[in-house]
Structure 1
């Protein structure tokens, strides 16, 4: 009963109780914690799990990290249940009485610096950090200022669009045009977000603005100075759509589904489909209005001589790094994300030259990125999820989705559906490849302890 107390301490307390000088001690549970201490530890763990889920961690990681922290706090019989919008942590208190804490996930933001700090806190809690210190560090972490100003984060999204334009074969003028369009998108979407507009309508507005800019570019193109060169509207709008696709939780939903957390995976997948549908509606609506006004976009473009693979690799590295900056990542995470983006672009380019299709090339690149990110990023105290999610950004099928929607609006239903299926197949290949790479890299992780192994194994066995 008094497993964590020294005999001399409890003999002194017993003498005080007999003498009437001190109240009777609270009942102590199996882990050596009183009822009050168990409640404090449970509340701290629930708040930490909520913060991890809201920062973008997968359900499997949140469950494993919370159970590890519970074992470090002395809560030996703890269960964690996650359903995307809520976190429920239950344990056995004194006299095996059940204790439960529920936290609702209200806000989800991309803050990779905060996510890295939460991972460090969870591992420190697993090593025996006191519950009071967990709560103090968590409050300090959630209240600290972000490493960049908002305009720097917005500039990261602009840099992403410009570098993706180069990856797709656009010239310097196309990259500048894509950056200007994305800058307009950032301003409008930031204003709509401050006014509380739902994310679905923000996606519709963003896609509509990008497509409207492409129509305007088509109309004004013949009147532009000759030194600007060719500005294919399809490349401009495709690069802008990649910036809108990058924020979707493709990797998280795929990993949750593969890990057996089907409720959370279903919610994330439905959110991704819903937001992608917003892109489809925005593009289709503006294209239809353009056709009714006699403005017909063409998907053909001639960027000239294709860029060599080293130039594409450099553009991919810049795209991944700038997206990490837009997510408030630290300097080490930005550097690792750039390396992951370069690796993904190089792998996809080599696979394409070998004759593989878009989905297979994207899947192979994502597999390698997920394997390397999850297996080595922890050495620099950076979550592998941050590196892998940023690393696959240059391969997102923004231009493919635009081409599919254009074909659907133009009357080519069968061709448009086939292209749309190909685009979604590429996106799923990216998510599945990253997830498989993370699972394959587990033997490389020294910190992958028995608790995390048990959670992963139980999740996989749940499917059979």
Structure 2
């Protein structure tokens, strides 16, 4: 009886006083003058700008700016993000005019190590890091150089092409030629970037180099090597196409569109279209040049088959490692990316075995990789965009793109071959769209799952106390 009275008293007390987890009915607001508020907003918008350049999505950037501003007592803050600018405004009810800042965003330069450090800084700010210390830390992060030297980046790009050739079961000569062609293309693009040539023309030049190396490869048959007699130039170009499309923001564009950032999504999609068109023009120029000099290639009658399943998993892991390296990722991200790439490829193989076509199976693989990636990224404190991009890249249909373009160029007066080429290109585009949708759906569903797992972990920790 006495225990019941005590429980009743505790319940009445809780009803009157609330619990420790209940939100406070009143909140103390710090007194911030305009000069200090401008400094706070400036730090928040600079962090957001750097994150957007480093590869974060618009939704994540907007949330970060609001969190940083709120941590220093600026509420409410309104954020508007377009593809090349960020506008932030804070208007207090007793102020005559709002404080508004605008930052112009330069072109994207993925740097996932910097993005990870920025996320850690935001966590520290929300935990109470003073403004001056946060500004000093941010300047150090922003001024830090890229994690790897250009030679390492070019080697990683060659490794990516090597991974694609391994997936297709190429012999040692095909693997070596694919790596050399990718290294030459990457070196060409690096030189053009140093000369400040627009990236569109760099894509054309890189694709042209890849195609010419592939067109010249059958000449090695004159050496009498047994491996040279079975060279498949389409594997060499397919490896290069995956490389050329590795830096494109397919998932980011789809995610921005889903999150309601229409202008940012439109800008990214336009950039994606332009750079993909550069690859197409470079391959077409290379194929036409090869045809004129008598090195034309016959379009394959069917899709290039993959190699043995163990080699497919090995190739997928190599591609993910290469992508993580030339995006500036650290060791933790590299390892996770390699593991998730095998998960995504397993999903693709399982869906294909059930009977799904290539586009649907690619979407299933991208969904599985991104869903698991979002949960793992939160648990290990790494950017989800870093591991998701590396995980789904092995699914990019580089061989189908080249086969379609080759059929278009070599069709001559045969309309059947021409139509077959356009059909192959359309199928490759469908696979690309399926990858974007599958990855975006995985990210969308992974966020509430991640929140649920976090809530369960906190509840268990509270019960253990």
2:284 corresponds to 1:284: yes
- The aligned residue for residue 48 of structure 2 is 49
- The aligned residue for residue 58 of structure 1 is 57
**SS of residue matched to 2:294:** coil
- The aligned residue for residue 332 of structure 1 is 332
Distance 2:180 2:224 in 1: 16
- The aligned residue for residue 315 of structure 2 is 315
2:439 corresponds to 1:434: yes
Q: Deviations over 1:324-355 (max 9, x none)?
A: 01111000000000011111112112222222
2:266 corresponds to 1:266: yes
2:414 corresponds to 1:415: no
Unaligned runs of 5+ in 1: 1-28, 451-464
Distance 1:248 1:427 in 2: 11
2:442 corresponds to 1:443: no
Shift of 1:70: 1.4
- Residues 306, 53 of structure 1: CA spacing in aligned structure 2 closer, same or farther, 3 A cutoff? closer
- Residues 302, 177 of structure 1: CA spacing in aligned structure 2 closer, same or farther, 3 A cutoff? farther
- The aligned residue for residue 140 of structure 1 is 140
- Cα pair 2:161 2:179 within 8 Å, conserved: yes
- Cα pair 1:375 1:438 within 8 Å, conserved: no
**SS of residue matched to 2:83:** coil
- Residues 157, 150 of structure 1: CA spacing in aligned structure 2 closer, same or farther, 3 A cutoff? same
2:196 corresponds to 1:196: yes
TM-score normalized by structure 1? 0.86
- Residues 93, 31 of structure 1: CA spacing in aligned structure 2 closer, same or farther, 3 A cutoff? farther
Shift of 1:416: 1.7
- Residues 204, 303 of structure 1: CA spacing in aligned structure 2 closer, same or farther, 3 A cutoff? closer
- The aligned residue for residue 394 of structure 1 is 394
- Residues 298, 280 of structure 1: CA spacing in aligned structure 2 closer, same or farther, 3 A cutoff? same
Distance 1:305 1:87 in 2: 46
Alignment of 1:36-185 (within 5 A): 36-93=35-92, 95-96=94-95, 97-185=97-185
Distance 1:384 1:227 in 2: 41
- Cα pair 2:299 2:410 within 8 Å, conserved: no
- Residues 306, 58 of structure 1: CA spacing in aligned structure 2 closer, same or farther, 3 A cutoff? closer
Q: Deviations over 1:60-115 (max 9, x none)?
A: 11011111111111111101111110111111258333001111112421211001
Shift of 1:298: 2.5
- The aligned residue for residue 359 of structure 1 is 359
Shift of 1:53: 0.6
Distance 1:342 1:57 in 2: 24
Distance 1:157 1:87 in 2: 32
Distance 1:296 1:259 in 2: 46
Distance 2:90 2:313 in 1: 49
- Cα pair 1:157 1:243 within 8 Å, conserved: yes
Distance 1:402 1:303 in 2: 10
Aligned length: 422
Distance 2:278 2:87 in 1: 32
Distance 2:424 2:304 in 1: 24
The more displaced of 93-102 and 66-75 is: 93-102
Distance 1:305 1:436 in 2: 29
Distance 2:187 2:305 in 1: 34
Unaligned runs of 5+ in 2: 1-27, 412-416, 456-465
The more displaced of 131-140 and 383-392 is: 131-140
**SS of residue matched to 1:95:** coil
- Cα pair 1:171 1:303 within 8 Å, conserved: no
**SS of residue matched to 2:329:** coil
- Cα pair 1:309 1:349 within 8 Å, conserved: no
TM-score normalized by structure 2? 0.86
Alignment of 1:335-354 (within 5 A): 335-354=335-354
- Residues 247, 155 of structure 1: CA spacing in aligned structure 2 closer, same or farther, 3 A cutoff? same
Distance 1:305 1:403 in 2: 12
Shift of 1:31: 4.6
**SS of residue matched to 1:79:** strand
The CA RMSD over aligned residues, in Å, is 2.3
Distance 2:252 2:359 in 1: 19
- Residues 71, 324 of structure 1: CA spacing in aligned structure 2 closer, same or farther, 3 A cutoff? same
